[in-house]
Amino acid sequence: MDEPAPSRAHGYRPRHTLPFRVEALRQLRRRRTLVMLGLLAALPWILVVAFKVGGSPSRDNVPTLVDVATRSGLNLTAFALFVSTGFLLVVAVALFCGDTVASEASWSSLRYLLAAPVPRARLLRVKLAVSLAYSAFALVLLPAMALLAGTIAFGWGPLEIPIGGTLGAGDAMERMLIVVVYGIVSQLVVAAVAFWLSTVTDAPLGAVGGAVGLVVVSNIVDAVTALGSWRDVLPTHWQFAWVDALQADLEWEGMVKGSAISVAYACVFIALAFRHFERKDIVS
């Protein structure tokens, strides 16, 4: 005769285990979180000091965002985003999403979390939500601090377009909001790859480095123009499509394609993360 299944402990609710607030506070106390957020907050001020010491940049034959960086706070914000998109913001997102599960495994604390008991799927959902929240905050913190630093140093004014023309401050702020939202969406592929690797390896640096390495390799392959339209499906091909939002005539095509590619990759790697973690041996 079959034995009856053990009943749950009185008051146990799987959905109430590991609340978002608890995990967010745990991550906030981590040194890597504070260091990365501090670096992103400090970068605009470092750029201000560099421009003050070096003087206003001179225009090149091909005008770029650096040529107008000191014209207003909005221009410094655009320049700060331009120099950070390809690497610094990638590292920040990879760090927040790649360190979250792997660090628990490396400290052997993952088994205790699951024995709490926290269902595996819920643990991943909460950790993913927290890491994405910190990633989004990082992508908002940098332009917000750049706008503050630039306005204090260079004043409030319209956004000057390098190739000529200006956007009024009101219109420019709306365009900056589009830029930030697109930046968050475009970094989802980095977040998903880092999160997946975090469930595969017990080495946090391996997960972070793997996601950053993907971006580096993608950028190298993207430079091979002989690939033609095949480059459109690379994870980083559209990472600078937000520049189209800072033109006199707003162009959506690049950002729409980039968003679709990023979300598609993110869905695949997040699904792989959940699939692998359900079968992961967490006691060895």
- Residue 3 is predicted with a pLDDT of 41
CB 92 within 8 A of CB 138: yes
- Residue 109 is predicted with a pLDDT of 63
| 11-25 exposure pattern, b = at least 16 Cβ within 10 A, e = fewer | eeeeeebbeeeebbe
Q: What does the alpha-carbon distance between residue 143 and residue 178 come to, in Å, rounded to a whole number?
A: 12
User: Residue 31 CB: number of other CB atoms within 10 A?
Assistant: 7
Token output for 179: 């830029």
- Residue 80 is predicted with a pLDDT of 95
- Residue 106 is predicted with a pLDDT of 66
When computed from its CA atoms, the radius of gyration of the chain, rounded to whole angstroms, is: 22
- Residue 180 is predicted with a pLDDT of 96
- List own/partner pairs for 243-248 with CB under 8 A and 24 or more apart: 243/82, 245/175, 245/178, 245/179, 245/182, 246/78, 246/159, 246/161, 246/167, 246/172, 246/175, 246/179, 247/161, 248/161, 248/165, 248/167
- Residue 89 is predicted with a pLDDT of 95
- Residue 60 is predicted with a pLDDT of 56
- Residue 204 is predicted with a pLDDT of 86
- Residue 175 is predicted with a pLDDT of 93
pLDDT digits (tens, 9 = 90+) for 221-236: 999 999 999 999 999 9
- Residue 7 is predicted with a pLDDT of 47
Read off the pTM.
0.87
- Residue 97 is predicted with a pLDDT of 93
Task: Encode the chain (284 residues) as per-residue pLDDT tens digits.
Answer: 344 444 455 444 656 566 778 888 988 888 899 999 999 999 999 999 999 887 666 555 556 778 888 889 999 999 999 999 989 999 999 999 998 887 776 665 666 566 667 777 888 899 999 999 999 999 999 999 999 999 999 999 899 887 778 889 899 999 999 999 999 999 999 999 999 999 888 888 899 999 999 999 999 999 999 999 999 999 999 999 999 998 888 899 999 999 999 999 999 999 999 998 887 766 54
Peptide bond preceding 143 in cis form (omega within 30 of 0): no
